[in-house]
């Protein structure tokens, strides 16, 4: 009985996108200078990739045929949104999110005397 109810609800849902919507596999890496987001987007043309960065939110949307790839993240690190860059090669998108200088580690020299 629950399955019928669920099927009826799904049929009544408004479809906002055509085709398949997929959350692509993503790796998020960090070093002292930046966060890296690496996403697998097979078959996507670079012109069909949209990145929105409005700190602290980051949204990726891309399309290939009838498939739309969508992922969004909340980036807690302070990111220099003016310096964000991205590269796309062989179906892999790499987004560079440079940390603002306020959050980068800083070495302090200790002087004797």
Quote the pLDDT of residue 7: 53
**Number of domains present in the structure of the chain:** 1
88-111 pLDDT tens trace = 999 999 999 998 877 666 778 888
Q: Is residue 90 part of a domain?
A: yes
pTM of the model: 0.73
Asked, for residue 26, whether it belongs to a domain, the answer is yes
Residue 12 parent element (H or E): helix 2-12
Residue 47: what are its φ and ψ, rounded to 5°?
-65, -15
Residue 77 lies in a domain: yes
Residue ranges of the chain with pLDDT lower than 50? Answer: 1-2, 6, 8-10, 13
Determine the pLDDT at residue 17: 61
The answer as to whether 108 is a domain residue is no
Whichever domain contains 85, its CATH number is 2.60.40.790
**Considering the domain boundaries, does residue 61 fall inside one?**
yes
85 DSSP β-pair partners = 96
Does residue 59 lie in a domain region? yes
> What does the pLDDT read at residue 104?
63
Q: Which domain holds residue 42?
A: 17-98
């Amino acid at each position: 009985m629950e399955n019928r109810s669920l099927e009826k609800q799904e049929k009544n849902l408004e479809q906002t996108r055509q085709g398949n919507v997929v959350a692509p596999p993503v790796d998020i890496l960090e070093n002292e200078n930046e966060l890296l987001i690496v996403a697998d987007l097979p078959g996507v043309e670079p012109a069909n990739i949209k990145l929105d960065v409005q700190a602290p939110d980051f949204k990726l949307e891309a399309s290939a045929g009838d498939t739309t790839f969508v992922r969004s993240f909340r980036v807690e690190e302070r990111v220099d949104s003016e310096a964000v860059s991205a590269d796309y090669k062989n179906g892999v998108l790499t987004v560079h999110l440079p940390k603002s200088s306020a959050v980068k580690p800083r070495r302090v020299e200790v002087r004797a005397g």
